Each structure stands twice: as structure tokens, then as C-alpha cells.
Amino acid sequence: MEPVIEAKGLSKTYRIYGNPYHQLLELMPWNKRQRHHAVHALHDVSFDVKPGECMGLVGSNGAGKSTLLKVLSGTTYPTAGSYAVRGRVTSLLELGAGFHMGFTGRENIFMNAAMMGFSRKEAQKKYQEIVDFSELGEFINAPVRTYSSGMGARLGFSVAVATEPDLLIIDEILAVGDMNFRRKCVDKIFDYKKRGKSMFFCSHSLYDVRQICERAIWMRSGRVQLLADAVTVTNEYATYENKIADGAGDPVPFRDAPVVPDRGVDHPHIVEGLVIDPATGQARNRFSPGDNAAVRVHIKNPKRERLVVAVGAMRTDGSLCFGHTTQFANLPFDFAEGHVTLYLDNLRLLSGEFTVPIWLFDEHGVHRFQERPAAQNLIVANRTKDIGLYLQEHRWTLEPIKK
């Protein structure tokens, strides 16, 4: 099958003029001077997106991500190269993009449907579905200019997914909105993937890119720095950013997931997290390397949703020493109330005091319901002369060279 997106040697150069008159002067036949400064936003960008694939896009501000998305969406044209986008495309590049601020939400729904090629009758069939998903209620009849950023995100995403595009281009939509709406977006995205649709997903949340995308592109200075599987790309990009930040800490998968402040009792939540002695089940937080330790998490789940739990150990400088999740062990659960226990057999950490963060996710590991630390820090007291963060299993050999 042909790729949904096929880009070959895309380049985009912007001309920056000191003032509008310089642009006019440059067009004059007698002008001999270049009166603009060239900014190369894209350089020879080539890639393809297969049918049913979700491609991620990461990179620092100014790397060329937005320009690439605008080219693929048809809102700007490349200076060189070619690209093909096959099928019906819907783009969510920024909040309110494609909306008329003076029109009501209802009027914008019908306007967007018309631009997508829907008849009035087809748009009326979709209207109630869009309103229900957005949960805007009576505000659907208010002008869009009166909407908050969250309300704008609700309407934009609801219109985009209701049009059933073959390709959905998304830019940071999961960074906006309350907990319930973000959860609905995640569920819709995974449902979209199950039905074989394609996505081009741009985000600064490396966690979201790892969880949602199969492959990813790292853009740097307008070029494709790396195109590979999503885990490899996000790890390489995080390492690069950490070097620039001069040891600011590793943006690990759990720590850069968006924080959800809502702690409503109707939602899944962590009641308590304890560091315990696995032999007795009693609370204990002082151990030595080689001891067996465990972290027991008490969870309430009133709606019996499928959940996963992650547990880590973090140094005081913010470095995550390890992070384990039931998702990677293929152990989602849906009980109404219970305990999830992580057993740390033969503890390898050396001396130090470590906080024990606990995360509660949905079954996809994307929507984070809650994050909280265990009641006590984990304290490891080393009785040997070994140095470092943890004790790696190792062995030595001695091989003298005979002369």
C-alpha cells in the first residue's frame, strides 16, 4: 500500500525583511541588493508514514516542527522538494486554528464540516456527536472568542475526530484540558489506531510519544537528526537535551508524563504506599545491599477501570535510579480495591536515601491519574567499601601475558 505521507527532500526558506518597504524594493527591476535575511526552517527532510502507523515528532523550539506540520497540512508550501498526503486529512496545529472567533461553536462546527466536504445533512448527523464529546453544553452557542483554552481544545479535538479522517495531524493537543477530557482524547486516539487510521503526532512530552507512536522523527535545526523507533528516538533526544542542560536530570518516561491534579474519590487513586519487609509484611525502610525489599501500594478503583502502577526510586538530585511498571510486565488490573506489591529481590542500590515515587496510570500507560511518594524514603546503608550508586553483578579474570 502507498504511504499516507511521503516526503522527499522538503526544504522551506523564509525571507525576513527589516521593514515592508524592503520587500517592495527587492521586487524592483533596478534593485541590485538583497534586502532580506534568509531563514532555513527545513533542510532536505525525507520520510514516509505507512497506513495505520502513528509517527511521532520531537525536537526543541525552533527545530522546524511547526513548519513541517504546516507544510503537511497545506497551510504553507515548501521552497524545494515534494510531498504527498493521501486520503482525508484533519489537522490540530494550535488551539482555535480553523475557527472563526466571532462565530459560535455551533456555527464553527458546520463551517468546518463544509470545508471538509460534508453536506449539510451529513454535518447535522455529526453535530450531536461533536457536542456530546466536547461536553460544552450550552456554551456551544457562545462565540468562540469567549472560550477558554481548554474549551477551545475540546471543540477542536471533537470536530477533528468526528470527521473520520484517514490521517490526523496533532500538535500538543494532549497538553491542554482537564483530566476527564484528556482521558477521552487518549481513548479516542487508541480507538483511532485500532481502526487502522494514521497519525502524525508532535509533542514535547516524550512519554506520550513513546506510548502512542511506533516510530518518531527527531528534528534539529531544520533537519532530520534521527528517524527510528519511538523509544530509540526519544532516548537519544533526551540524552542530547540533558547534555545541553548541563546535568539538569534525565527526562525519564514517568517524570515527564503530564501531571493530573484531580484527586476525586470517584476516580482511581492511591490510598497509601509503603516500603515493607517482604518476609513479614511490616513497614520497614532501612536495608542493606543484597536484602530483599518491597513496596506495597494500596489502591481504590471505584469504577473498576483497567489500571497499571509504576514504582521508582529517586535520588535527592532528581535522578531516577529505576522505574518499574505493571504495564511492561503485562499485569493490568481492574479490582475495586486491593494491593499491588513490587518485590525488589537482592537489592542492588548502595548507600543513600531515596524517595519512592508511585504513579497510577490507565491501562495504556498514558493517562496519569495520580502521583504520590511512599510514606517513607528508602534508606540503604552499605557495610562494604563498594562505591557508586548500585552494585552491578560482576566478575574478574586475571590473564598474565607470558613472554
Only one residue has cell 518491597, namely 294
**Residue 318 belongs to some domain of the structure:** yes
* Same-domain pairing of 180 and 292: no
pLDDT at 95: 52
Q: Are residues 201 and 284 in the same domain?
A: no
Q: What is the DSSP letter of 349?
A: B
Residue 96's pLDDT is what? 54
Q: What angle do CA 73, 119, 150 make, to 5 degrees?
A: 50
Record the pTM. Answer: 0.68
Structure confidence by residue, pLDDT tens digits, 79-102: 999 999 988 888 777 655 567 888
Domain count, the chain: 2
The identity of residue 16, as a single letter, is I
Check residue 94 and give its pLDDT.
60
SS3 of 16-64: the string is EECCHHHHHHHHCCCCCCCCEEEEEEEEEEEEEECCCCEEEEECCCCCC
Residue 298 C-alpha cell reads as 494500596
What's the average model confidence in pLDDT over 236-247? 69
pLDDT of 175 reads: 58
Q: How far apart are CA 181 and CA 147, in angstroms?
A: 15
Query: Over 70: is that where the pLDDT of 44 sits?
Result: yes
Report the DSSP pairing between strands 167-171 and 198-202.
parallel
Shared domain for 189 and 337, answered yes or no, is no
Regarding whether 149 and 89 lie in a shared domain, the answer is yes
In a domain, 371, yes or no: yes
Average pLDDT over residues 209-232: 90
Packing angle between helix 149-162 and helix 105-115, nearest 10 degrees? 40
375 and 295 belong to one structural domain = yes
What mean pLDDT comes out for the span 398-402?
Answer: 87
Kindly indicate the confidence band of residue 174, based on its pLDDT and cuts at 50, 70 and 90. Answer: low
Residue 158 domain flag: yes
Please give the residue range of the domain that contains residue 316.
269-380
| Helix orientation angle between 105-115 and 120-134, rounded to the nearest 10 degrees | 130
For residue 223, the model assigns a pLDDT of: 92
Q: How confident is the model at residue 75 (pLDDT cuts 50, 70, 90)?
A: confident
- Whether 293 is covered by a domain: the verdict is yes
Give the CATH number for residue 10. 3.40.50.300
Cβ(258)–Cβ(368) below 8 Å: yes
> Under 8 Å CB-to-CB from 359, ≥6 apart: which residues?
254, 257, 309, 310, 311, 312, 325, 368, 370, 371
In this structure, the answer to whether residues 240 and 274 fall within a common structural domain is: no
pLDDT of the residue at 257: 46
Task: Identify whether residues 239 and 150 lie together within a single domain.
Answer: yes
Answer yes or no: is 263 within a domain.
no
Mean confidence (pLDDT) of the chain: 83
Same domain, 44 and 171: yes
Do residue 21 and residue 104 come from a single domain? yes
Segment 127-144 shows an average pLDDT of 87
Please tell me the distance from the alpha carbon of residue 184 to that of residue 200, in angstroms, as a whole number.
19
391, part of any domain: no
> Cα dist. 70→14, 251, 329 in Å?
13, 28, 39
Predicted local confidence at residue 296, as pLDDT: 95
In this predicted structure, what is the pLDDT of residue 250?
A: 44
Q: Are both 69 and 187 inside the same structural domain?
A: yes
pLDDT of residue 263: 45
Average pLDDT over residues 300-312: 92
Percent of the chain with pLDDT over 70: 90
Question: At 207, is the pLDDT very low, low, confident or very high (cuts 50, 70, 90)?
Answer: confident
Q: Is residue 24 part of a domain?
A: yes
What is the C-alpha separation between 99 and 88, in angstroms, rounded?
19
- Cα separation, 168 vs 160, in Å, equals 8
In this structure, what CATH number is given to the domain that contains residue 374? 2.60.40.10
Shared-domain flag, residues 301 and 224: no
Q: Are residues 39 and 182 in the same domain?
A: yes
Lateral strand order in the sheet of 352-354: 286-287, 378-380, 352-354
Mean pLDDT of 22-36: 76
Question: Per the domain annotation, does 375 fall within a domain?
Answer: yes
CA-based nearest residue to 349, from 256, 285, 305: 285
